[in-house]
Amino acid sequence: MSIYDGLRLRHRLITIEYTVYCRLHQNRLKSPLPNALAMKQIKIIVEKHSDGYVAYPLGIKGAIVGQGDTYEEALADVKSAIRCYIEIFGKEILEDESPVIEAFLTEAEVAI
């Protein structure tokens, strides 16, 4: 198992933990999207892998990950995880000004 595979497994376990926590505490948590809630733009990275998609946000303290068989499922999963995470830990986990202005993906040749 590579380091990357280990990280993907860790991300999946974290996603499962958040999902289980939210479902178990659903009655105690406020609605994740009350009508008066302000919206915030969050940059989200979505990666395509051979066995599905993995998505994670930039500019949020902590580890939040979503996954799915499709791009849309992974995006919906990470958005749900973000709402749950904010509900549990508060808006303090959001950075006021994300240090990430833009995110780029590139490939570079490296001697190994």
Residue 84 CB neighbour total at 10 angstroms: 20
Q: Around 112, how many Cα atoms within 13 Å sit in the side-chain half-sphere?
A: 3
Residue 22 contacts residue 29 (beta carbons within 8 Å)? yes
Q: What is the pLDDT of residues 67-93, one digit of tens each?
A: 999 999 999 999 999 888 888 888 877
Mean pLDDT confidence for 33-56 = 81
* pLDDT at residue 111 in the model: 92
How far is 38 from 79, CA to CA, in rounded Å?
15
Q: In the chain, what is the greatest distance between 2 CA atoms, to the nearest angstrom?
A: 54
Q: Around 95, how many Cα atoms within 13 Å sit in the side-chain half-sphere?
A: 13
Task: Please name the residue that has the structure tokens 């930039």.
Answer: 58
* pLDDT at residue 53 in the model: 94
